[in-house]
Structures are given as structure tokens and as C-alpha cells.
Amino acid sequence: MVMVGTDLVEVERRLRAGELVCPCGVGRLAPWGHARRRVVRGVGVFRPRRGRCGACQVTHVLVAVSCLLRRADAVEVIGAALTAKAAGQGHRRIAARLDRPVSTVRGWLRAFGRDAEAVRGVFTALLGELDPLAGPIRPAGSVVADAVEAIGAAVAAARRRLGVVGAVSAWQLCSAVTGGRLLSPAGPAGSINTSWPLAVAG
């Protein structure tokens, strides 16, 4: 899986121009059909593009930064739930406000809570890389709130450092950095997508 921008026309152009680097770090991806149809609420119905690496021959699905791996809602909606949870709201209230099933929202919050410490670590490290002079992140009162705080601080630093992320939301950047695995069982820490600036640039 390779994270790409949300502009399908631009993604197609970059794929055809050989601008998408394979996660192997050696080859470039060339067009290789489409993955099966996906429905993502808040994003739409689409068939993600697939690319194949000329070097390692592995095929990768190109996933837009507006999505997360195996989640049927836009990262924007999931992020809104995480922000509300960080502010102390319960899952029932969040579900009602976002018009999503209670069980779905509870699933997001649990998955995020399980790895919140790792997420905090990843984004705190990213903040340090983007802005070595950034001060420490103030404790926000809970593990989840600390993680959301770290994401916000890293995104703000990315905006200062690389103007390119202007059109990309905080949660989309979060998706790009974690390779879409923000809520995945394997956790986000082992899957940091080092080419994330490319994903948010296009």
C-alpha cells in the first residue's frame, strides 16, 4: 500500500509519469490496474489504483490520505471523534454528533487508545525532526489527549516547514505519516511512512 494525495487526476498523472516511489525505495510504480471497489463514507465510492514496482515487481494499492486502512469512514470523521474524545466526550455523544453507529465509534476509540502511546511517540519524534527548536508538548490530561496534542503539534510544524501541506488537513497528514495504519491492529509505530511528504504534496 502506498499513500497518495486526494486528487485522482494528479495521482494518475504522477503514476504515469513514474513519480511514485515504491516502498522498497528502489523502483518506481507503473500503472497496474485497479483494486476492488471501496465505499468510504465522507470520501465516496471508488476503485483505488494499483501500481507495480519496476524493481521489486511488487504491486501496491494507492490509497488516498483521506482514508485509513480497513476503515469505512474518512480519516476526517474518525479524527473528529478522536479530538472529541481527547476533549473528554464519551463515545455515545460523539456517535450521535457524527451520525455514526455507537459500536463503530467505540471501535475507533478503542483502537486508537490501544496505541495512543505509540502514536504520541511517533508524532513527538516527527515534531522534533521538523522543528528541533519546538518546546516540549504539554501534558493534556490523558494518553489519548496527549497523542492528539502531539499530532496537532507535528502538523503545525509540518505546515511551517513544508508549505505544501496547506491543502491537506491535520488528519490527512496523520494518515499519510502512519501509512493509513493509524487504527490498525499492528499499530502505527512500526509502519512510519518515510515518503509521507510526497503523499501530501500531490
d(CA 57, CA 35): 16
Cα 160 to chain centroid, rounded: 19
Stretch that binds Zn ion, among 26-34, 83-91, 113-121, 122-130 (CB under 5 A): 26-34
Residue 86 lies near Zn ion (rule: CB under 5 A): no
Residue 27 lies near Zn ion (rule: CB under 5 A): yes
CB nearer to Zn ion: pick between 54 and 88: 54
Query: Cβ of residue 26: shortest distance to Zn ion, in angstroms?
Result: 6
Site for Zn ion in 46-75 (CB under 5 A): 53, 55-56
Query: Cβ of residue 21: shortest distance to Zn ion, in angstroms?
Result: 8
Residue 24 lies near Zn ion (rule: CB under 5 A): yes
For Zn ion, which residue of 22, 69, 157, 199 counts as binding (CB under 5 A)? 22
d(CA 145, CA 116): 9
**Helices (DSSP H) in 61-195: which residue ranges?**
75-86, 91-98, 102-130, 143-161, 170-177
d(CA 42, CA 127): 28
Identify the H or E element spanning 52. strand 49-53
Query: Cβ of residue 125: shortest distance to Zn ion, in angstroms?
Result: 26
CB nearer to Zn ion: pick between 22 and 155: 22
Residue 30 lies near Zn ion (rule: CB under 5 A): no
Written as one letter, the residue type at 194 is: T
CA distances from 138 to 31, 143, 145 (A): 45, 12, 10
Query: Rule CB under 5 A: which residues touch Zn ion?
Result: 22, 24, 27, 53, 55-56
